[in-house]
C-alpha cells in the first residue's frame, strides 16, 4: 500500500485531473484505489458525483463519523466537505494537530491497508490540512506547469516549506523527523511548440526526482469537464488525439514503477 499526496501552492496545475485519470488507469489495471478529497472546492468528489456535506473528510478532524464511499469499480472515495476550509480554525488548538489524519488511518488500519494506492488531493496551500496529508504520505507529488513567471520559483518555495516542516517535526528523542515522505515533481501541460514548454522540458530533464512528464492536450480538459477519464473514453474520442492515450499510459506506468521501487527501497 502506498499513500501519495498531490500538492503544491499553485492552483490549476492539474492535481485533480491527474489524480482522476491516474486512479482510473490504476483501477483498470486491477489495483484497489482509495481517493481522499482534501480540497473544499470538492472537484474530485464532484467528478464522481459525490458532493455531500455529511460523513466527509471533515469528520476525521472533528471526531465525527467519516464514511468511505464506493465511487466506481475499484475506486473508493472519502469526499471533501465544502466546510473543509474551516478545519484550520477548528484544530488549531488541538494536540498533535498535524497528525489527526494519521490517527484516523491508524484507527482504521485494516480498511486502509486493503487498498493498493491511496491518492490524496489537496487545496493549493501548505497549511495544517496539507500538513496532515503529507504526514501520512509515502510520496508527495508536486505538479508543475510551464509558466512565464517560472515554475522554478514554485519548486523552490515548495522545497523550503517542506524542509521547514521536516525540521519542525523532528522527534527530540530520536533526532529523526516524523515526516518521511519522498518528494517528486511532475511536469504537466507540456506543449510541443512553444519556447516556454521547450525551456520547461529542458529544466525537467535536468531536475532529479521528476516522476512523469505529461503533455498538454484538450482531451485532458475534456476528461474533467465530462467526468470521464481518458482511459475510459470511447475509441471515437481517443482517435481525435493521436498518441495521447499511449503517452498518458506510458507516463502512468513509469510513475507506478518509480513508486513501487520506492516502497521496496
Ligand atoms: N495535461 C493537460 N492538458 C490540458 N489540460 C489540462 C491538463 N491537465 C489539467 N488540465 C486542465 O487544467 C485545468 C486545471 O486542472 P485541475 O483542476 O486538475 O488543477 P488543480 O491543480 O487541481 O487546481 P486547484 O488547485 O484549483 O484544485 C482543468 O481544466 C484541467 O482539465
Ligand atoms: Mg484541484
For residue 81, pLDDT over 90 is answered with yes
State percent of the chain over pLDDT 90. Answer: 92
Q: Whose CA is nearest to atom 23 of ligand 1?
A: 12
The verdict on pTM exceeding 0.85 is: yes
Three-state DSSP class for residue 103: helix
For residue 109, pLDDT over 90 is answered with yes
For residue 251, pLDDT over 80 is answered with yes
The mean predicted confidence, pLDDT, of the chain is: 96
Give the atom of ligand 1 at the shortest distance from the alpha carbon of 189: 1
Q: Is 21 in the pocket of ligand 1 (CB under 6 A)?
A: no
**Contact criterion met (CB below 8 Å) for 166 and 179:** yes
Q: Is 220 in the pocket of ligand 1 (CB under 6 A)?
A: yes
Which residue of 9, 14, 127 sits with most ligand 1 atoms within 8 Å of its CB, as the best mutation to test the pocket?
14
For residue 9, pLDDT over 90 is answered with no
For residue 36, pLDDT over 80 is answered with yes
> How many Å lie between the centroid of ligand 2 and the Cα of residue 174?
36
**Predicted local confidence at residue 187, as pLDDT:** 96
> Which grid cell is 265?
527501497
Of the pLDDT bands very low, low, confident and very high (cuts 50, 70, 90), residue 193 is confident
Question: What DSSP character marks residue 213?
Answer: E
Across 5-18, average pLDDT: 94
Q: Whose CA is nearest to atom 2 of ligand 1?
A: 216
> Which grid cell is 193?
511548440
> How many Å lie between the centroid of ligand 1 and the Cα of residue 188?
9
Which residue do the cell numbers 504537466 mark? Answer: 188
Distances in whole angstroms, Cα of residue 175 to Cα of each of 25, 166, 219: 40, 11, 48
> Which grid cell is 255?
510513475
For residue 149, pLDDT over 80 is answered with no
**Contact criterion met (CB below 8 Å) for 252 and 244:** no
State percent of the chain over pLDDT 70. Answer: 99
**Contact criterion met (CB below 8 Å) for 25 and 229:** yes
Give the atom of ligand 1 at the shortest distance from the alpha carbon of 216: 3
Nearest ligand, CA 7 = 1
**Predicted local confidence at residue 151, as pLDDT:** 86
Which residue of 12, 126, 200 sits with most ligand 1 atoms within 8 Å of its CB, as the best mutation to test the pocket?
12
Of the pLDDT bands very low, low, confident and very high (cuts 50, 70, 90), residue 147 is confident
> How many Å lie between the centroid of ligand 2 and the Cα of residue 116?
22
Give the atom of ligand 1 at the shortest distance from the alpha carbon of 41: 27
> How many Å lie between the centroid of ligand 2 and the Cα of residue 171?
32
Task: Set out the domains of the chain in order of their start, with CATH numbers.
Answer: 2-264 (3.40.50.300)
- CA–CA separation, 13 and 247 (whole Å): 19
Question: What DSSP character marks residue 265?
Answer: -
Q: Whose CA is nearest to atom 3 of ligand 1?
A: 216
Amino acid at each position: 500500500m502506498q499513500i501519495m499526496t498531490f500538492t503544491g501552492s499553485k492552483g490549476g496545475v492539474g492535481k485533480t485531473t491527474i489524480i482522476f485519470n491516474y486512479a482510473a488507469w490504476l483501477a483498470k489495471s486491477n489495483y484497489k484505489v482509495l481517493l481522499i478529497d482534501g480540497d473544499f472546492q470538492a472537484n474530485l468528489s464532484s467528478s464522481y458525483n459525490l458532493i455531500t456535506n455529511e460523513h466527509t473528510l471533515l469528520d476525521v478532524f472533528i471526531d465525527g463519523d467519516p464514511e468511505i464511499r464506493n465511487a466506481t469499480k475499484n475506486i473508493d472515495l472519502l469526499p471533501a466537505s465544502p466546510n473543509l476550509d474551516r478545519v484550520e480554525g477548528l484544530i488549531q488548538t488541538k494536540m498533535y494537530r498535524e497528525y489527526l489524519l494519521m490517527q484516523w488511518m491508524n484507527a482504521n488500519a485494516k480498511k486502509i491497508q486493503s487498498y493498493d494506492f491511496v491518492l490524496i488531493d489537496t487545496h493549493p496551500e501548505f497549511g495544517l490540512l496539507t500538513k496532515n496529508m503529507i504526514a501520512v504520505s509515502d510520496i508527495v507529488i508536486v505538479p508543475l506547469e510551464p509558466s512565464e513567471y517560472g515554475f522554478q520559483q514554485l519548486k523552490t518555495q515548495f522545497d523550503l516549506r517542506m524542509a521547514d516542516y521536516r525540521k519542525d517535526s523532528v522527534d527530540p528523542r530520536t533526532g529523526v523527523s516524523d515526516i518521511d515522505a519522498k518528494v517528486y515533481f511532475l511536469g504537466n501541460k507540456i506543449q510541443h511548440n512553444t519556447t516556454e514548454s521547450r525551456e520547461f522540458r529542458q529544466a525537467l530533464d535536468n531536475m532529479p526526482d521528476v516522476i512523469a512528464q505529461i503533455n498538454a492536450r484538450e482531451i485532458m480538459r475534456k476528461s474533467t469537464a465530462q467526468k470521464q477519464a481518458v482511459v475510459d473514453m470511447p475509441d471515437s474520442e481517443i482517435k481525435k488525439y493521436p498518441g495521447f492515450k499511449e503517452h498518458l499510459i506510458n507516463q502512468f506506468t513509469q510513475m507506478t514503477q518509480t513508486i513501487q521501487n520506492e516502497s521496496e527501497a
